[in-house]
Amino acid sequence: MAMNGRKSALVVLLCFNWVIGIVVARGIEDYWSKRANLIHAEKKIAFGGDISLTKNEMLTNRTLMSAKLKEIQEGFSDPNKFFPRANFLTVKNKIEKSKVFQIIKKMPKGALLHAHDLGTVSHEFVLRNLTYRSDLYVCQSEGGLKLMFFKTPGKNCHWELLSELRNTPAKEIQINKRILEEMTMMTDNPAKAYPDGDAAWAKFQSLFSFLFPFITYKPVFEDYFNQLLQEIYDDKVLYLELRTVLPDIFDLSGRVYKSLEVMQILNSLSQKFVAEHPDFLGIKIIYAPMRHLNQNELKKHIENAELIKESFPEFLAGFDLVGHEEKGGTLREFAEQLQVLGQKMPFFFHAGETDWYGLSTDENLIDAVLLNAKRIGHGYALLKHPKVMEIVLEEKIAIEVNPISNQVLNLVDDLRNHPASILFAENYPVVVSSDDPGLWGAKALSYDFYEAFMGLMSGSSDLRALKKLAINSLLYSTMSDKEQSKAIQIFQKQWEDFLLDVAEMENKEFRLSNNSVD
């Protein structure tokens, strides 16, 4: 009996343990499946999660993701090796050596939707080409360096021929160094040079003051603009919407070309470029005067915008206001006039390019959506305005994110803190642009795609997210339906070439590594 009792007790105990074992095992199985579902659900709703890859795309994706993972792992072990956390000005050369960057360079990127007239061409071209033209004079005054084209220079400054100042190699190096300092934000120590946004903006605005006088010389302006198209074309961009103040340009005969004429020049150049490059779709213009103005000045710009629209109904995409948003006029002040203009052309307002929260600059986001902006430039503070976010989603207002610009202009330090991470996590209508790449040593669009892909998106975001960036840029452009379907056609062809290109790159690497083994 006692034995039997013990046996029964043992059996009961064994059974109990067995049942508990099953319950625990079930519990943990259940846990893993819930976990997998949650992760899957987040990937599904994330940017690019709605895209399926073809077999060829999967191969390219494997190459891309193994390079991405390697970079992340290196950066995890040594923070100095993770570039998006450092200021772009200090890691540009390192980024260029990244395999992910190499792949992104090859990738067709669709449209460049947020770029400014005198900030988009690489500094190398401006320095090495434009400043070597004849008739370019330099004046070194207390206010800094000035460059200007003259037939005969005026007496307002001590003008010297730049070519003469470069008449020895040593002098050439010296003056070029000074020119470079005046025309870009490049520095080894950005934290010291630009300790805050105000300091960064002061320098940034001085660059335009330096560039404007000599780039608005008509032959140079035309070459600058051609080079702009060439650089973005080489970077696999097929279409551009350019924000410009439409500056007066001049020639040496003293003739000044006003905005309507400048539009005509830009339009002709664009058409010529398209004729020579059938896989380029051309450009449209966003007329974008400086926002530091009063109601009367705005009134004149609006009248001008209306005039331009009449003459260039297709070529003019719409209207924006630019400049240091925190210190300039607000959309609220101008709402009454803008509301009327909004019936005649779309808006592409800069809004919320700020770290402040609850001040007039981030409130520009509210006015931007109430004024029915088609896209919003930067929208850095958007996340702090949940009701505006709802409208952005409903109305499909694209947010033009410019990662490097935001970092160089001191909105954010480590790009992993850029709020657009969250827009990507929730699949908001985002496009990535480059703002003024030439002013900080970048070029065209690839650098910003790299930073977005490595720094803003999840480690698991892959080729689908990059493809989505390109597709969004076409979708949220102001191209007509006809233009858009042509763009998609071109893009698809480029995309197939890109897949082959990456495969070829892999093969070459494989052959090289095999040869080196032999």
Does the footprint of a second copy cover residue 85 (CB under 8 A)?
yes
**Which of 485, 262, 261 has its CA nearest to residue 477?**
485
Instruction: Figure out which of the listed residues 21, 143, 154, 358 binds a second copy, where binding follows CB under 8 A.
Output: 358
Q: Which of 324, 378, 385, 418 is catalytic?
A: 378
How many CB atoms within 10 Å of residue 27? 9
Q: Per residue, what are the HEC states of 25-56?
A: HHHHHHHHHHHHHHHHHHHHHCCCCCCCCCHH
To a second copy, the closest distance from the beta carbon of 407 in angstroms equals 11
Cα–chain-centroid distance for residue 427? 18
Cβ proximity to a second copy: between 45 and 256 the closer is: 45
Determine the residue type at 134: S
User: Applying CB under 8 A, does 306 fall inside the site for a second copy?
Assistant: no
Question: Residue 199 Cβ, how far from a second copy at the closest point, in Å?
Answer: 8
Nearest to a second copy of 252, 359 (CB atom): 359
CB of residue 403 vs a second copy: minimum separation in angstroms? Answer: 13
Give the CA count within 13 Å in the CB-facing half-sphere of 397: 28
Instruction: Report the residue from 6, 7, 26, 34 that binds a second copy according to the rule CB under 8 A.
Output: 34
Does residue 202 belong to the site contacting a second copy (CB under 8 A)? no
Exposure string of 40-60, with b = 16+ CB inside 10 Å and e = fewer, is eeeeeebbbbeeeeeeebebb
d(CA 58, CA 292): 49
Half-sphere exposure of 279 (CA within 13 A, CB side): 18
- Cβ proximity to a second copy, 24 vs 512, nearer residue: 24
Catalytic residue among 57, 353, 400, 451: 353
Q: Which amino acid, 440?
A: W
Q: How far is the CB of 373 from a second copy (least distance, A)?
A: 14
Q: What is the 3-state secondary structure (H, E, C) of 381-449?
A: CHHHCHHHHHHHHHCCCEEEECHHHHHHCCCCCCHHHCCHHHHHHCCCCEEECCECHHHHCCCCCHHHH
**Block residue for tokens 């150049």:** 269
- Pick from 12, 14, 19, 45 the residue near a second copy by CB under 8 A: 45
191 contacts a second copy (rule: CB under 8 A): yes
| Residue 33 touching a second copy (CB under 8 A) | no
Q: For a second copy, give the closer residue by CB, 43 or 99.
A: 43
- Candidates 174, 460, 480, 492: give the one binding a second copy (CB under 8 A): 460
Site for a second copy contains 252 (CB under 8 A):
no
Give the orientation angle of helix 197-215 with respect to helix 169-183, to 10 degrees: 120
CB-based burial label for 382 (10 Å; 0-12, 13-18, 19+): buried
* Amino acid letter for position 361: T
42 is catalytic: no
Cα separation, 392 vs 93, whole angstroms: 36
Q: Minimum Å distance from CB 356 to a second copy? A: 7
Interaction between residue 488 and a second copy (CB under 8 A): no
> CB under 8 A: which stretch of 163-171, 300-308, 455-463, 478-486 binds a second copy?
455-463
Around Cβ 507, how many Cβ atoms within 10 Å? 10
Both structure tokens of 121: 């061409």
Binding segment (CB under 8 A) for a second copy, from list 39-47, 174-182, 228-236, 307-315: 39-47
Please identify which residue in 388, 430, 432, 439 interacts with a second copy, judged by CB under 8 A: 388
Asked if residue 81 binds a second copy (CB under 8 A), the reply is no
Q: By rule CB under 8 A, what count of residues binds a second copy? A: 58
From candidates 10, 22, 24, 58, binder to a second copy by CB under 8 A:
24
Q: Locate 308 and state its tokens.
A: 């331009």
Task: Report the residue from 279, 306, 326, 501 that binds a second copy according to the rule CB under 8 A.
Answer: 326
Q: Does 426 bind a second copy (CB under 8 A)?
A: yes
| Segment lying near a second copy (by CB under 8 A), choices 76-84, 98-106, 490-498, 504-512 | 76-84
Under the criterion CB under 8 A, does residue 9 sit at the interface with a second copy? Answer: no
Q: Which residue of 211, 215, 229, 383 would you call a contact of a second copy, by CB under 8 A?
A: 383
Known catalytic residue at 301: no
Angstrom CA distances, 438 to 173, 205, 214, 228, stand at: 20, 14, 16, 10
Query: Could you tell me if 102 and 122 are in contact, meaning their C-beta atoms sit under 8 angstroms apart?
Result: no
Can you tell me the distance from the alpha carbon of 337 to that of 117, in angstroms, rounded to the nearest whole number?
A: 25
User: Is 28 a binder of a second copy (CB under 8 A)?
Assistant: yes
Give the interface segment with a second copy, choosing from 31-39, 134-142, 286-294, 475-483 (CB under 8 A).
31-39
Q: Which of 51, 127, 274, 366 binds a second copy (CB under 8 A)?
A: 366
Place of tokens 């009327």: 340
Active site residues: 353, 378
* Binding residues for a second copy (CB under 8 A): 24, 27-28, 31, 34-35, 38-39, 41-42, 45, 72, 76, 79-80, 85, 191, 195-198, 326, 332, 335-336, 339-340, 355-359, 363, 366-367, 370, 383-388, 411-414, 416-417, 419, 421-422, 425-426, 457-461
